[in-house]
A and B are shown apart, each in its own frame.
Chain A
Amino acid sequence: MDFDFAAIHGALPFLWKGMLYTIELTLYAAIGGLFFGTLLALARLSPWRALSLAAAGYVNLMRSIPLVLVIFWFFFLVPVILQVAMGHERPPMIGAERTAIITFIMFEAAYFCEIMRAGIQSIPRGQVHAAQALGLTYSQCMRLVVLPQAFRNMLPVLLTQTIILFQDTSLVYVISATDFVGAAAKIAQRDGRLVEMYLFVAAVYFVICFTLSALVRRLQRRIAVIR
């Protein structure tokens, strides 16, 4: 079988656009997921039972359903939810790409929630007591003392989750969003160059993820030294 590098070369601009979307989706999902995940973690740890049960229910639901299904559901549901929320007559057309961003933020929030919850629980009670004894309110204590330490302690895990997320974003292919894999699939179909395209895509994912994982391991060792 002949392996045609030219097939890849010609497709690079289109693949690059796909990669940009993949990166964009990963960053949105990581930052949004961390933000909402932290709020969920605070809700789960709150003494108010209704709130903590609701948060736990959401997190467990998300973590028990395959991501592909969540993506499918949201693809159909998000326009309807937006329609109701904004009071429009017909579902707004927001496109697969934006639906995917919302979906991933909601899905990743469940995973980041569990990481941040573990991080918050790893902070000794004495730290909270010290903050309160100085007169800080609950929210100041969380914002200034507990969350920064939880985030720092969990940084390697958060980054590892982000690397997994980077790979998982390829699932948006099922709603025909043009991410890196989606772009490659379209070219592969058009030119009949499946082997070249999928090998190339796999190689790119491998290099990126392997490099990032190595960096996270180095970071982990440095954090261990500081502590």
Chain B
Amino acid sequence: MIEIENVSKWYGSFRVLTDCSTRVARGEVVVVCGPSGSGKSTLIKCVNALEPFQQGQIRLDGTPVRDPGTDLPRLRAKVGMVFQHFELFPHLSITRNLTLAQEKVLGRPADEARERGLRLLERVGLSAHRDKFPGQLSGGQQQRVAIARALSMDPVAMLFDEPTSALDPEMINEVLDVMVELAHEGMTMMVVTHEMGFARKVADRVIFMDEGRIVEDAGTEEFFGSPRSERAQHFLARILHH
């Protein structure tokens, strides 16, 4: 579903990503972790071409991302993305946040888009807030709306960039619950997170990044049982002993 082949990226002369290769199969859940600044956000944003990269190739459902002939808006509409800071559109109501792209990108009629949006809002337990604005919701609620918004496009895969790290602790679980449910339904997911409980529960594989490289790419059991690299061991020791 997502094939990342030897991707390298530079910001000026600074090399952010070095020869990153991995793949996420259909229905697979892959967690990406690693220290801050290791390039996790950059890598996941390369997947839907929010960030351009200079070397290598990424294929999304078979379509090459770094190809001048690729219709990027259409490609991006096929993958949902959830951001650390939610990024709901603050000038639009919750319902409009859910229907805007369905109408403008997929060309769905307004009533169909609305019905689909409200069904997803119900699914994340926020129907009562349909007419509010994002600023009136808590962080956890906003992130659930953001997930519903991404799902409203019927994506073939979902990308998450630290979806819970801007949340107060008591709100983390309401978001993780939605994600766990998604994973159990068979959604293809690539998730940057430090929530190791989530990784243990649903991840098929864990990728560990450091200084722009994929240092470790292992099955979940194997990763937590006996991480091969020393850096991953240190990293795990640090975040598990909190």
Instruction: Write the residues of chain A forming the contact surface with B, with a CB cutoff of 8 angstroms.
Output: 124, 126-127, 129-137, 140, 144-145, 148-149, 152, 226-227
Contact = CB atoms under 8 A, between A and B. Distances in A.
B91 A152 contact: yes
A135 B73 contact: yes
B89 A135 contact: no
B109 interface: no
Interface of B: 45, 48, 50, 72-74, 76-81, 83, 85, 87-91, 100-101, 104-106, 135, 149-150, 153
Contacts, number: 63
Contacts of B81: 129-130, 133
Contacts of B73: 132, 135-137
Nearest to B85: A126
**What are the nearest 10 A-B pairs in CB distance?**
A135-B77, A130-B87, A134-B101, A133-B81, A135-B105, A126-B87, A135-B73, A135-B76, A137-B73, A129-B50
Contact of A133 (B76, B88, B104, B135): B76
Which of A127, A130, A226: most chain B CB closer than 10 A?
A: A130
B219 to A, nearest CB: 29
B105 A136 contact: yes
Contacts of B76: 132-135
Contacts of A140: 104-105
A133 B105 contact: no
Contact of A127 (B72, B89, B104): B89
Contacts of A148: 91
Contacts of A133: 48, 50, 76, 79-81, 150
18 contacts: A124-B87, A126-B83, A127-B89, A129-B87, A130-B81, A130-B89, A131-B89, A132-B73, A134-B77, A134-B105, A134-B153, A135-B106, A135-B153, A136-B73, A136-B105, A137-B73, A140-B105, A227-B135
A145 B88 CA distance: 10
